Structure 1
Amino acid sequence: MSHPLAKVQRMSEFVEVIGTISFSEVATEAFLALGMRNYWDGYFAGRAAPLGLASAEVVHAVFYNFADGEVARHIPWVWGKITPQEAIAVRERGSAAALRQRIGELADSPALARVADLATRAAVGAPPEGRVLYAGLRALEVPQEPVARLWHAATLLREYRGDGHNAVLVAHGIGGTEAHVLMALSLGMRAEEFGRLHHLPKARLAAVVDGLRGRGLVDGNGEFTAAGRELRERVEALTDELAAPVYDVLSTDELDELIAGLEPIAAARQAVDH
């Protein structure tokens, strides 16, 4: 069945909050303890591990939005310190520990176990064709422990949406770095202030912004034009449309129950950050 896009958007917000616990300090420290040099080593090892011993070129293509050469600073170096199988296990343990730490007593509630079950049903029920990172994750064993299972489901749902988002960007001729410029502007930031872009050489970033200006998406002040804002909104709307089928296995009541159950968990996860 098809669900309203407003509910799909709400789910996207929740799975982003829960899934990105993988990039928190607790999970990062688990990778550092195994010889990773920095946050980004752990990031690439953990997120790319479901792809196996993929080359930097393949990881760059699948992740889509990193600058040229950025992935190659970490892949394949990390595989000299840890195997993909070990990285998958470390990421799961670290992420589950971090989530449990953030949500406190909710971690052991029957409500969380029910939410984890519903989220997992959705997460493993979608066709993987064209969803490379989602397919890699779906091939993994689903954790039995409820907190780890909820994190795993959120990660699957997040990457399912992300794979679709990349397809929409490709269809609109928006490269990865360009997508980050548009994201920065949507957040009210200048491109050079955005965390994923500030490391780029000024000439490279200027060339990307100039290209967007030439397409009429950015104005002379480096801000959105009306056309740029409309394109950004269209990309997000299409991404939500492509993300919607993953929830078709749930009834209306089940999706409503899932959304209601995730709300306090997501709120608790975010509370420490604010």
Structure 2
Amino acid sequence: MTMISDQWQGRTTDGDRHETSRRNARSVQTTVGWIFWDPGAVARYEARGLPGPLGYIASRGAPLAPAGPEALTAAFGSISSAGIALTFDLLKGNAVAFRELWKARDEAVDEGLRRYAPGIVDPLVEMGPALWSAVDRLPRLGRVLFGATLSMPRPRNPLLSGWHAVNAIREWRGDTHWAFVAAAGLTSAEASIVHNEWLGYEDDWLSKSRGQSEQEIAEGWNMLSRKGFAAERRLLPAALRLRQKLEDLTDELTALPWQLLGRDFSTRFAERLEPPCELLLARVDETAGPKYQPASRVRERYRDPEESAGS
């Protein structure tokens, strides 16, 4: 049975735990996500014959590569299925080649963290063993990419070990979120459209940034209209209410790692990682743009206009 740290007992409320989950999700996402557009990583991918976006797919998807492109498409949720298929074609489905991209990313992570956010090095080294202890106690059920990630060798390099522990927590949260999206009956295209407007981005920006085709986007809008979530290619409040509910459920159901680690550790994680993560987010602004990595951005919780009018 999974034991929760006694630091969360007593007067700690569910709201406290959920807020910790929400707060630390930003640092988890940022600690990992900056590498997706890092020129050091992209150069390594290109040296192995893959452009940056496909290198991201190969390096992140290496644990699931033996299962094939359809499995990876299911696990990635909103990433272009065509891009995933092309990655497999270029690498000829060779699992060893995927693992070489995983190693290339590790090299770029170690180099980039030390160069662009040196303040994150000591916290990841020091907190890594405790983070792995929590990761090893997280439930695998329904979390395929997380489970596959655990099959990869753990680095002996203490910085990379800490980074990979954070990455495992990120994949666990991602698998959990996509389970809620699937349970809500949304397709990949529909989910991207709803997420885009929930973020306040212009029409279909998020869908296009993830490589979805115009045909896929159009079908997503058609499906949302049939379900009563959109009209004339505009989302209705019900769609945004659903998206906020999915976010709240994700925060609630991914509080477990922080419960296992305890309140003091979780607070220390936030306080020590947030400053260097701001530097990593600035790096994303520079290498990709200020709309990328939305999970790292501070934003207001969606307020239903009907609820606001009645208050």
TM-score (norm 2): 0.78
State which drifts further: 187-196 or 5-14.
187-196
Determine if the alignment matches structure 1 residue 53 to structure 2 residue 66. yes
Determine if the alignment matches structure 1 residue 248 to structure 2 residue 259. yes
In structure 1, C-alpha distance between the alignment counterparts of 2:70 and 2:95, rounded to whole Å? 20
**What does residue 86 of structure 1 align with?**
100
In structure 2, C-alpha distance between the alignment counterparts of 1:203 and 1:86, rounded to whole Å? 34
**What does residue 33 of structure 1 align with?**
47
SS in 1 for 2:238: helix
In structure 2, C-alpha distance between the alignment counterparts of 1:118 and 1:174, rounded to whole Å? 36
Count of aligned residue pairs for this structure pair: 270
In structure 2, C-alpha distance between the alignment counterparts of 1:155 and 1:171, rounded to whole Å? 24
State which drifts further: 150-159 or 61-70.
61-70
**Distance of aligned partners of 1:243 and 1:22 in 2 relative to their CA distance in 1, 3 Å threshold:** same
Identity %: 24
Contact 1:192–1:198 (8 Å) recurs in 2: no
In structure 2, C-alpha distance between the alignment counterparts of 1:59 and 1:178, rounded to whole Å? 19
In structure 2, C-alpha distance between the alignment counterparts of 1:203 and 1:120, rounded to whole Å? 42
Unaligned segments of structure 1, at least 5 residues? none
State which drifts further: 181-190 or 67-76.
67-76
* Superposition CA RMSD, Å: 2.4
SS in 2 for 1:142: coil
**Distance of aligned partners of 1:51 and 1:150 in 2 relative to their CA distance in 1, 3 Å threshold:** same
Unaligned segments of structure 2, at least 5 residues? 9-15, 286-311
In structure 2, C-alpha distance between the alignment counterparts of 1:68 and 1:140, rounded to whole Å? 24
For 1:7, the aligned partner's letter is T
**Distance of aligned partners of 1:207 and 1:45 in 2 relative to their CA distance in 1, 3 Å threshold:** closer
For 1:93, the aligned partner's letter is E
Query: Which residue, out of 191, 202, 205, partners 1:179?
Result: 191
In structure 1, C-alpha distance between the alignment counterparts of 2:97 and 2:245, rounded to whole Å? 39
Q: How does 1:206-221 map to 2 (within 5 A)?
A: 206-220=218-232
Deviations 1:13-69, CA, capped at 9 Å, x for gaps: 111111113312221211212222x11321121111112422111111221223443
For 2:25, the aligned partner's letter is S
Contact 2:64–2:71 (8 Å) recurs in 1: no
**What does residue 12 of structure 1 align with?**
25
Deviations 1:62-95, CA, capped at 9 Å, x for gaps: 2122344332111143245952332322222222
**Distance of aligned partners of 1:115 and 1:196 in 2 relative to their CA distance in 1, 3 Å threshold:** farther
Contact 1:123–1:153 (8 Å) recurs in 2: yes
Q: How does 1:98-177 map to 2 (within 5 A)?
A: 98-104=112-118, 106-107=119-120, 109=122, 111-177=123-189
Query: Which residue, out of 282, 293, 303, partners 1:271?
Result: 282
Contact 1:164–1:239 (8 Å) recurs in 2: yes
In structure 1, C-alpha distance between the alignment counterparts of 2:52 and 2:279, rounded to whole Å? 24
**Distance of aligned partners of 1:84 and 1:96 in 2 relative to their CA distance in 1, 3 Å threshold:** same
In structure 2, C-alpha distance between the alignment counterparts of 1:261 and 1:97, rounded to whole Å? 20
TM-score (norm 1): 0.88
In structure 1, C-alpha distance between the alignment counterparts of 2:112 and 2:267, rounded to whole Å? 26
For 2:275, the aligned partner's letter is P
